Every structure is written in structure tokens, then in C-alpha cells.
Amino acid sequence: MSKIDTRLNVSPVPPDEIFALNGAYAVDPHPQKVSLGVGVYRTDDGKPWPLPVVLKAEKELVVDDDLFRHEYTAIEGDVPFLGIARDLMFGFEGKQGEEEAKARIGSVQTVAGTGANHLGALFLAHHMKPPTVWLSNPSWANHQTIWELAGVPRKTYPYYHAATRSFDFEGMMSSLESEAQEGDVVLLHACAHNPTGLDPNKEQWVAIADLCERKKLFPFFDSAYQGFASGSVEEDAWAVRYFFNNKPDMEMCVAQSFSKNFGLYGQRVGAFHYCTNRASTTLRDVVVNNLCHLIRGEFSMGPRVGCSIVKKVLTSEELTADWHQDLQVMSSRIKTMRKALYNELVRLQTPGTWEHIIQQNGMFSYTGLTPKQVYALKDKYHIYLLKSGRASISGLSQKNVAYVAQAIDDVIRNEN
């Protein structure tokens, strides 16, 4: 074989585990196969669920027949959408005195939550030059990739206590207290932590905010599940709003996604919000200007169609009420399937404790299964989940939950 003539210095990188797993599931012909890998909502029949409110909004957009619907937006994105996204995230409702708070927030449209995380990392790497970014251990795998590509050194703080399958609040606080330095970025999951499904309680969020303020750390919130986790957009934004409202002298930012809570996975709808401190509101427009500089050199402006759907819904009282109902449908089904899996494992007297499945929150569960057990589930039962044991609860249904529980029971007993 002849030598390849190239100036490139490249070597293979590992495939993305989630998409590789989904690809393997897609070609598996087994009739009882189950996908617990990719984080998308599914009905009890295992089908995609375009939100009814989204279908209504799409029909209204067709009737509107906006001649500009395929035109360019501004570099910062669809400006009315950005105001709507900001108000949803931070809880602004048009009340007196809110303008001063709004003046602290610079917002731009992004290519979904991934794009918001990437843009924020790139912006901070260029203009703040943080010594370190602290990621939870474990965290969404793409966080590592995003910050690696931004060139910011990465460290992790403890988050998951394996022995008790619980949130390691003491480990997190101790690590950040002793090792984090002024100017470090701390990445925080606003709700429904991915992959563990474990969130700080409100008292713990208050302590985390106090620590960030005292040590002059920079909070970077990733908000991917607002409204999807609990069914309440207010509850799922509590941490972000607490930091913003109660620590006005601290800068922070938020990466906001509409993929999960509107079911717009392929439309790539997102926003990035940079919050100045209350003494530096004149900096906001300069921040947006510099964010636009990065956007222009990368993708020019955010996609229009998905944000038009969100805008249509959230500017109508009737459609907004419908959306809140859709959120209840999704979050309730997730909770029901958590309880169903737990009940089956208890009924089977599966070795181990399983309370964590119903104590966790949102789309994912850190089941506690080992990589060996995960591989056995795939090879013997055609059940697909990540080697970390993270399972997408949405992939469970009334039709397959008993099968999944029996398979888990089998692989655990056979290993023992």
C-alpha cells in the first residue's frame, strides 16, 4: 500500500458513545430490543412525540405565511426570540423594576444547547482566560470535548457518591473550597443533572452560590431541561434565578436549550446569556458585540425555523398554557416509568438497593450497573445503555419495563 501524501497530522478519535450506541440499536433486528441510550423523549409506544403545542404553532406559522421566514436574521439571532428566551430563563414577567435587571443580561441565539456551551466556552477562553474549568464527575461527556476544544484546562469536582448512589455535596464543596482558584469557571447543571439525575437541594444551591461568590469563581450554568425535569419552568430554573437575583455582584452565564422542553431536537434552538454584575451593565453591549464576532466567524446566525416555533408558543397565552400541559405529560411519564422500574426490581428482589431510581430526577438515571453488566444486557437481552450505567428512562414503557427489570435481575444474579 502506498504512503498517503498529506500535510495533516491526524489520528483517529474515539467515536461518540451515545451516537455509536444508537447506531448499533438501529441495526439490531431483535424484536425485544430496548434503547436506553440516547436522550430523547419517547411515548409509551416507543415513538417520537412532536408536542401537540408545536404542531399547533407550525400550523399557525403556515397560515401567517411570513414572506421573511427564510431570510437572514441579525448576527445575534432573532431579537424578539432572545427576549422571550431570557424572560423564560430568568423569570421576568413585565413587572416594575425588571428593566434594571434585564440590563445586566447580554443574549445571543445559538445552535441549541451544545452551541451555547461551545460559544460560552470559546468566549470565556478568549476574553476571561480562566485558569481552569471545573466539571462535575461525572458530567455530560460533551462538556469535556467542548472545553478541550476551547483550550481551557479541565479539572473535576466530586459529584456522585457511588456507595450510596447519591449526590456528593460534601465532596463537591470540599474540593472546590480547597482547590478552586479565583477566576476559575465552575460548570453547573441547572436541573436534571446529566448523567446522574441527582440535583442539589435549594439549601445546597445557596451554599454553592455563597462559595462561588466568596472565592470569586465564575458560575457557568447549563440549562437543558427547564420544565422537562419537574414539569415546572419555575422550579427547574430556581438555581439560575437564585444566583442571578441574590448574587448581583457576581458575573455568570447560562447556556439554554429548547431541544428537550419543546421536543425540537433537530431544529437546534438555543441561547447563550452572559450576566454582568450590577456595576458593569455598560459592558453588556460590548459582550454581545464580541459574541457576535465569534458567531459571524463560525455560523453567521442562529437557525430561524425552530426559534419561530418557540416564539409563536410563548407569545400566546393559550399556546403557552398548552405547552405547560405538554411538559406535565412528559415529566409525568418519566416519573411513572421510574416508579415502574423500581417496583419491578423490588418485586424480583433484585440484589442491591434501588431507591435511587425514584429519588433521581429528569430523563436520566445513573443505575449503578457496572460496565460488565451493561455489556451483558446488550449482548444477551439487546438492551442498550451507556457503559457508565446511565439509562434514558424515556426508553422504558409499560410494554418493556418488566423485560428490562428481569434482564437487570438476571445479569446481576449471574455475576454474583
The answer to whether 150 and 121 are in contact (CB under 8 A) is yes
Catalytic entry in 49, 56, 134, 140:
140
Catalytic entry in 247, 260, 311, 378:
260
Say how far apart CA 350 and CA 404 lie, in whole Å.
12
Residue 405: CB atoms within 10 A of its CB come to 22
* 140 belongs to the catalytic site: yes
* 260 belongs to the catalytic site: yes
Find cell 461525572 and name the residue. 138
Report the DSSP pairing between strands 34-35 and 185-189.
unpaired
Closest CA to 116 of 146, 136, 80, 72: 146
The answer to whether 125 and 151 are in contact (CB under 8 A) is yes
The answer to whether 411 and 376 are in contact (CB under 8 A) is yes
Residue type, 331: S
The answer to whether 136 and 221 are in contact (CB under 8 A) is no
Quote the cell numbers at residue 78: 432573532
Say how far apart CA 133 and CA 329 lie, in whole Å.
36
* 222 belongs to the catalytic site: yes
Catalytic entry in 222, 236, 322, 326:
222
Q: Which residues are catalytic?
A: 140, 222, 260
